[in-house]
Amino acid sequence: SAQLNKLAKAAGKLYFGSATDNGELSDRSYVNILSNTDEFGQLTPANGQKWEYTEPSQGSFSYTSGDQIANLAASNGQLLRCHTLVWYSQLPSWATVNSGSWNANTLTSVVNTHISNVVGHYKGKCYAWDVVNEALNDDGTYRPNVFYNVLGDSYFALAFKAAAAADPNAKLYYNDYNIENPGSKQAGVVKIVKLVKAAGAKIDGVGMQAHLIVGSTPSQSQLQSAIQSYVGAGVTEVAYTELDIRFSSLPPTSSGLTQQANDYSAVTKACLAEKACIGITIWDYTDKYSWIPGVFPGQGDALIYDSNLNKKPAWTSISSVL
């Protein structure tokens, strides 16, 4: 039967992919579906490449978790999206607890060292890197974090330049949530793209995380407008990088599952309609391993396979749109 990555590629996209995480890889039924390249042509490590894992103490690097997923993607013949380099969250305590002691010179060196080592380690293996993640508040202003507090908005170009130097062939992305439709935060992303380019740094893409809510998913035309705004700002590609569409209360009704299917098709259609949209990644493929219930208590069932690894109506709607 027609499967998602195969259909996406036939429609001119680069991949339909999934996030995954180390703890899940002992589940053989789960891994069998994850590794089927007709279904998923791309993987993203949900955690293993984050700063707290890759540089747990200053200057000491660890790639065990990230490599496990990079190696799985390589042995399956799947693309790898690499995630993420500069983010306020999941930082090791040495970077945040000591933040009062950083100055522009020391923190610049910390960022350069981190990026040159991590991107250097994965050189040639990443289709793309999420270089800066979640730098904006919902009103489009810069989120106060250790990087912004010490370096101001110069940390964007610093990070993109360091990543480009360490792997000239990786596509470099700015990645964030609530930027899937026009508004203050989307305008903030346009500003960041222009800022990075004006500083002479390379930025190739905008990643729209797309952690959406059933019934509140933007319309296809709103989704397309946001994509067009990023292309207008100067990136050559965009992607849905962490797609999931959750129920804000559980359990879902059958009409709720139909609504969820329609919301997934709106996102898929928007990507299909915009040439710059190169692919869609779901933030894991099954409700069994979704991050949503842990972070949004009482919410969930956000994915396209249920907890028993059976396809949901959302899977069918995506496959029929593709």
Collapse the DSSP code of 179 into the 3-class scheme (helix H, G, I; strand E, B; otherwise coil) and give the result: coil
What is the pattern of x (binds ligand XIL, CB under 6 A) and - over residues 259-288? ------------------------------
Using CB under 6 A, pick the residue from 133, 145, 229, 319 that binds ligand XIL: 133
Question: Would you say 165 or 213 has its CB closer to ligand XIL?
Answer: 213
Could you give the CA distance from residue 270 to residue 221 in angstroms, rounded to a whole number?
7
Using CB under 6 A, pick the residue from 35, 37, 47, 319 that binds ligand XIL: 47
Could you give the CA distance from residue 250 to residue 194 in angstroms, rounded to a whole number?
41
Say how many C-beta atoms besides its own lie within 10 A of residue 48's C-beta: 22
The beta strands (E) that lie in 247-307 are given as 277-282
Is 242 a residue of the active site?
yes
Question: Please, what is the minimum distance in Å from the beta carbon of residue 205 to ligand XIL?
Answer: 15
Could you give the CA distance from residue 20 to residue 78 in angstroms, rounded to a whole number?
13
Could you give the CA distance from residue 3 to residue 36 in angstroms, rounded to a whole number?
9
Say how many C-beta atoms besides its own lie within 10 A of residue 98's C-beta: 13
Using CB under 6 A, pick the residue from 51, 291, 305, 315 that binds ligand XIL: 291
For residue 124, give both structure tokens. 């040639």
What is the pattern of x (binds ligand XIL, CB under 6 A) and - over residues 206-245? ---x--------------------------------x---
| Nearest of 320, 261, 302, 319 to residue 40 by alpha carbon | 319
What is the pattern of x (binds ligand XIL, CB under 6 A) and - over residues 142-181? ----------------------------------------
Q: Are 155 and 112 in contact (CB under 8 A)?
A: no
Residue 45: beta bridge partners? 20
| H or E element that contains 8 | helix 4-10
Sequence-ordered alpha helix ranges (H) in 81-139: 93-97, 104-121
Kindly state the number of chain residues that form the binding site for ligand XIL, as judged by CB under 6 A.
Answer: 6
Question: Would you say 166 or 179 has its CB closer to ligand XIL?
Answer: 179
Question: Please, what is the minimum distance in Å from the beta carbon of residue 269 to ligand XIL?
Answer: 24
| Nearest of 10, 21, 61 to residue 45 by alpha carbon | 21
Using CB under 6 A, pick the residue from 8, 34, 43, 46 that binds ligand XIL: 46
What's the first-to-final CA gap in the chain, in angstroms?
13
Question: Please, what is the minimum distance in Å from the beta carbon of residue 9 to ligand XIL?
Answer: 25
Question: Would you say 55 or 242 has its CB closer to ligand XIL?
Answer: 242
Question: Would you say 209 or 319 has its CB closer to ligand XIL?
Answer: 209
Phi, psi of 118 (to 5 degrees): -70, -50
Question: Would you say 293 or 313 has its CB closer to ligand XIL?
Answer: 293
The radius of gyration of the chain's CA atoms, rounded to the nearest angstrom, is 19
Q: Does 5 bind ligand XIL (CB under 6 A)?
A: no
Task: Write down the residue that tokens 């810069």 correspond to.
Answer: 142
Question: Please, what is the minimum distance in Å from the beta carbon of residue 213 to ligand XIL?
Answer: 14
Residue nearest to ligand XIL (CB): 291
Question: Would you say 44 or 260 has its CB closer to ligand XIL?
Answer: 44
Q: Which residues bind ligand XIL (CB under 6 A)?
A: 46-47, 133, 209, 242, 291
Q: Which residues are catalytic?
A: 134, 242
